[in-house]
Structure 1
Amino acid sequence: MRQIEVGGASPYAVQVGPGLLGQLQLPQRHVALIHPVDLPSTFVAAVQAAVQPVVTIPVPARDDCKTLAVLGEVLSQLARANIPRDGAVLGLGGGAATDLAGFAAASYLRGVAFYTAPTTLLGMVDAAVGGKTGVNLPEGKNLVGAFWPPQAVWCDTETLTTLPPAVFREGAAEAYKHGLMADPSLLPRVLAPDFRPGGPGLEATLADAIAVKAGVVTRDLTEQGERAFLNFGHTLAHALEAVTHHALPHGQAVGYGMHYAARLSRALGGADLTAHTLAFLHWQRPQALPPLRYDEVAPFMARDKKADAVGVRFVLLRDLAQPYLARVPDAVLRAEFEGWAKEVRGVREAERGEG
């Protein structure tokens, strides 16, 4: 087992290893367990046996749970269960469910303790660490939320063996992103054959990817500075999710978005890192995108959380592990979008040819 420390005003530990779900221990007596409806029942039963929650709240799967309506129902169930101020919420499942659970914990009684046990690679590498919680609006992703750090995170690697290969590869996007923006040693390790559920390279690579985010959020919890760099690839990714009504999974959207950001970085004079982002897309094999025009996607990018009164800022790379924030002229955004669209179509065509 590996342990990563997250510092700052509210420090906590992230544990990574097999068999953790059955070993969970919370100091609170009144615990509410929140999990997606499609989570394997064995995971839920293991946590229930360990924690003895006073209420278990199933929520819709994936981003269908990240709505104000679902949040309202969860808060009502917490109230009906009489969860007290010294109670706790435990989020179990993928990143969407833990985002919702964290925001419910932050909102109920103006804040109760929050714990999380992510069961997907995406949830472990990204959503569970850093205290960002929230839900979506029709106008865009994660537009409502709060910074509410967990008190502990448990990443049970045995849960990853139940993931379909495509879902595991989806989650790898965030680990690869950490390699591009902070730790280039992760790039070949994520694409290596032993980075797989049950593989010999899984635990160490996963822990090192989590350590990148842990270090950043320790220094900048509320995204006043370098935490924005963790959004590399996410400006287009969130727009793709919104314009496809979340038919495109988040990790696949990030894969596409990283390649667009690499093209923008090159266009503004940075190193050409597109070979890395194309290699990841070939490895990830994301689903095909519908035909998209720049004018369809641009309004969603304009609502990105990194936007300010002047306009949209993109996370770009001068080189590997050299991120920066920049405003990109609309003419460059449009031209690179056209080139990006042709290039990602080529990835899909090559895959069909190989198949």
Structure 2
Amino acid sequence: MTLGILTAIAAGIMLGLYALPEKYAKDFEFENTWGLMFFINMLIVPVIAGFVLVDGFTDIIGSLSGEILLKMSIAALAWGIGVMLWGKAINYIGLSLGFSIFIGTVILVGSLLPFLVDGLPPTNAFLTILGGLVIVLIGIVANGRAGMTRQKDEQDALVTANDQSAMSTGILIAIGGGLLATGFSYANAAGRPAIHAASQAAGNPEWVTAVVVMFVIYVAGALFVMPYFIYQLGKKELWGKFKTPAFSKNLLLTAVMAVLNFAASVTFAYAAYQLGKAGNTVGYAVFNTVSVAVAILTGLSTGEWVKASTKAKNFLYVGLAAMVLGVVVIALGNGMV
């Protein structure tokens, strides 16, 4: 169990840090940076990882039944749509609130969804895990309050009468995006057993299973993500933005983002395996919670909270403490399985 928890924490740290290089990209709009990142992340890195790291890669993929591939692909496609909706939500309600609502929904639903595939653990373990999830969500709510208070500190008011509709729309989009993004957790739970068996039969180490699982999820997710960015780049006439002296630097930064994101997902999948029967639930909760904590700490270290009041920072610290406590309780629950 200890190895699984530590691996899930490592995955969360990578996910929390993966967007940091975006701050240093130059001459790119949102669509340029993230479109390039997702292209590398969903189509280049998984393919290279599959052929370089996995023995019998094409045979493993070919051995999967149509039913398993269909379940994984539909769930992964939903995840891709959810990620895009999250970006839309941030445009309406800001990063802090959008991140908190989105990840809160992901943790609550995504951590429980694998039970539909793997079955429920013993009652005492199940109730302890649920208790940990509740504590984590309290932390997410506190982070949302911190973000709202900070936004109010930096403006004359959080929202005006004209902004009420946009705020409500953004919250609904964030919740909808979070629900769809839980397809990631379901796809991992649905596909991992068959992929693991095929990977082991080909003589691969246990961790290689995670690489193949993420290959299927990421490539399927790209079926929505890439057409979306291609459309946006054309609609906003942003293709010319790629012709900049800073392109080489931006390419390197987005490649680092892509590798960190994919590596985080692979590490999470391996952590879920190490954690046993409740691994998808426990690993997913730890993974996402740590990523939120790291993202917040990164924001603090890069000056995002310089203008925030003591009240806003106190909400932030309470949220962080609750998330850490919740992860500890979830880990205890997993130890009961």
Q: Is the TM-score greater than 0.5?
A: no
Q: Normalising to structure 2: TM-score of the pair?
A: 0.24
Name whichever structure is richer in strand by fraction.
1
Q: Which has the higher contact order (CA 8 A, sep 6+)?
A: 2
Q: Normalising to structure 1: TM-score of the pair?
A: 0.23
